[in-house]
Amino acid sequence: MSGAERETPMESELRALPKTDLHCHLDGSLRVETALELAAGRKLKLPADTADELRPFLTVAPTCASLKEFLDVFQLIYPLLRDSSALERIAYELCEDCSAENIRHVEVRFAPLLQARSKFPPEEVIEAVLRGLSRGLADFEVTSGVIICLFRSHSARENAAAFRALKRFFKPGNGLSSPGVVGMDLAGDEARHPTMEFADFFDQARRLGIPATCHAGEVVGTENLKAAISLDVRRIGHGTHLFEDEQLLDEVIRRRVPLEVGITSNVRTKSVRSLRAHPVRRFFEAGVPITLNTDDRGIIGIDLTHEYRAAAELGFSFEELAGLSLASVDHLFLPEADRRRLRASFQAEIARLKKKPLRRP
C-alpha cells in the first residue's frame, strides 16, 4: 500500500502529516519477508517459501468471514515470535515502518503470554520488545510506549502472570526519552469472553494508576463497551457498535473517552458491512473523540496513511484529518509534559505543511 510513486498528491500530504498510532499490535505488524527469514532461521515450516506465495496466508483477505477467521491468521505468526531476537527485530522494524510515513509516536501492544514459554518468561518478552523499540528510537527517531494486553481466552493464571509483568515494568514517567510500559489492554475474542470476566484486573490497574484501554464493541453489541466504560477505561479499542446504545453514546461523549478506530480492520473483520457503512464520520459529527490507527498493519496489508485516506473517502477534509492527528496526541498514555512537547512539534509541522499549496486528487 506504500510506494510513493503510485501515490496521489493527497496521499503524499497525508503521509507527510505527523501522526500517532495508538492501536497497533506488534505481532499483527509483522512483515511477510521477515516472517520467511524468521521461519528459516528457526527451522519452522510455513505454508509457502516466497513472500508472494506466503502473503495470502499471512494477510487477511477482503473475503475474510469473521473476527474468528481474522484471529486464526495469527496462529501462523505466534510460533515465529517465541524468542528475544525475533521480538527485538520486529519491534525495531515497526519503528522503521512508522518512520517511513511520519508516525512520530507509536503505542505498540502485545500479549506477552502468547510468546512466553517455560524458559522465556513474560518479563523477557517485554524486555526484548523494549530493546527493539529503543534501537528504533535511536535510528528512526520514532518514540514509543508499550501496552500490555491481557488475553480474553487465556486462563486467569496466565492473565495474572501478564499483569504481574505489567506492574513490574510500568513506569508512568518514561515519556518520550525511552520506550517503556505505559498501559494495559484486553484483547481477543470478545464474543466468547465478556469484559466483565476481567473486571478485577481493570480495578487493580485503576488503583495502581495504570491507564487502560479495552477492545470492546468491535464485533458484538454494546455490552462489552458498557462494561469497559463502567470500569473507567481511558480509551476504547474500536467501539464500532456504539451507535446501538444512545445513552452510552452520550456518556462516551460527556466523558470524552476516545475511540481507537481501525477503519480497514473493521471492514476485514466484518465489524462493518463495507467501508461506506463505517460510522467513523458519524462519530466525529456526533462529537465522539476519535483517533485513526492501523490495528494490524502487516496482516491487513495497510499503513496509517492508507487509513487516513480511507477517512478522506468517508468525507474528512485534509484540515479535519490534520486536526485528528493533533488531537490524538492528547490521548496518548504519556505524562502531560511530553504530550505538550509533542503537541507543539505537531502544530509547527502541520503549520508548515499547510503553507504549501494544497493539491487534491
Catalytic residue numbers, as ranges: 218
Smallest separation (angstroms) from Zn ion to the CB of 109 = 7
| Stretch of residues binding Zn ion (CB under 5 A), selected from 13-21, 133-141, 145-153, 294-302 | 294-302
Contact pattern from residue 239 through residue 278 relative to Zn ion, giving x for each residue in contact according to CB under 5 A and a dash for the rest: ----------------------------------------
Identify which of residues 176 and 300 has a Cβ nearer to Zn ion in the complex: 300
Identify which of residues 27 and 101 has a Cβ nearer to Zn ion in the complex: 27
| Stretch of residues binding Zn ion (CB under 5 A), selected from 129-137, 163-171, 293-301, 352-360 | 293-301
* CA–CA distance, 184 with 200 (Å, rounded to integer): 13
> What stretches of 72-142 adopt beta strand conformation (E)?
103-110
| Stretch of residues binding Zn ion (CB under 5 A), selected from 79-87, 220-228, 289-297, 316-324 | 289-297
Identify which of residues 88 and 295 has a Cβ nearer to Zn ion in the complex: 295
DSSP letters along 247-302, please? Answer: HHHHHHHHHT--EEE-HHHHHHTTSSSSSTT-THHHHHHHT--EEE--BSHHHHT-
Smallest separation (angstroms) from Zn ion to the CB of 108 = 11
Containing 87, the helix (H) or strand (E) segment is helix 84-99
CA nearest to 142, candidates 154, 152, 153, 133: 133
Phi, psi of 340 (to 5 degrees): -65, -45
Identify which of residues 134 and 294 has a Cβ nearer to Zn ion in the complex: 294
Smallest separation (angstroms) from Zn ion to the CB of 266 = 10
- Residue 282's alpha-carbon distances to 145, 285, 290, 299, 311, in angstroms, are 30, 5, 11, 27, 11
Residues numbered 132 to 191 that lie near Zn ion (CB under 5 A) are: none
Identify which of residues 295 and 303 has a Cβ nearer to Zn ion in the complex: 295
Helices (H), 141-175: 156-169
Smallest separation (angstroms) from Zn ion to the CB of 40 = 29
Contact pattern from residue 106 through residue 135 relative to Zn ion, giving x for each residue in contact according to CB under 5 A and a dash for the rest: ------------------------------
| Cβ(307)–Cβ(316) below 8 Å | no
* CA–CA distance, 234 with 206 (Å, rounded to integer): 10
* CA–CA distance, 267 with 240 (Å, rounded to integer): 11
| Stretch of residues binding Zn ion (CB under 5 A), selected from 3-11, 147-155, 203-211, 292-300 | 292-300
Residues that bind Zn ion (CB under 5 A): 295
